Amino acid sequence: MKVTHFNQAVINICERDSRIDKDAYDFLKDALDYASDQAQKTGAPNNHVSASDLLAGIRDYALKQFGPMAATLFAEWNVTKCSDFGDMVFNLIDEGIFSKQESDNREDFIEIFDFKETFETPFLPKRKSEQKK
């Protein structure tokens, strides 16, 4: 995909739907590349990345790239739940940037994991009772 085409698509999307910051779309594109690479390493049969695979890639890529700052960045971009990524994916599908299979739908992105548990809890200090174990 050409960068200028992607950038114009994101501008179009943000003009229609300004809920999510444009930087989140750049992250999504990079996370999709990461998820695709991971799928190829495991011998996935085609180039299609399912919603659950994409969300796993988003989770892993965000933690790898941003660590404890992932939750802060997502909040800054107004991405607070998995379904926000589904909205972004389908916005990019509507713009002709991403493709989908007939079986793909927004509901595939509904709360596959909890953002707070995934991006905040692992970085909180342990309570004294937990440290003694």
Q: For 106-125, what is each residue's pLDDT tens digit?
A: 999 998 999 989 999 888 89
Q: What is the pTM of this model?
A: 0.87
Is 77:107 a contact under the CB 8 Å cutoff? no
| The pLDDT value given to residue 48 | 78
- The alpha carbon of residue 44 and the mean position of all alpha carbons in its chain are separated, in whole angstroms, by 20
Contacts of residue 76, defined as CB under 8 A and 6 or more positions apart, other chains included, come to 21
Both structure tokens of 86:
């589904």
Using the predicted structure, report yes or no on whether residue 75 has a pLDDT greater than 80: yes
Round to whole Å and give the CA distance between 21 and 72.
Answer: 13
Is 84:78 a contact under the CB 8 Å cutoff? yes
Residue identified by tokens 């809920």 is 19
Both structure tokens of 131:
């440290």
Round to whole Å and give the CA distance between 4 and 2.
Answer: 6
Query: Whole-number mean pLDDT of the chain?
Result: 89
1-10, 40-49, 110-119, 120-129: lowest mean pLDDT where? 40-49
Using the predicted structure, report yes or no on whether residue 133 has a pLDDT greater than 90: no
| The pLDDT value given to residue 46 | 66
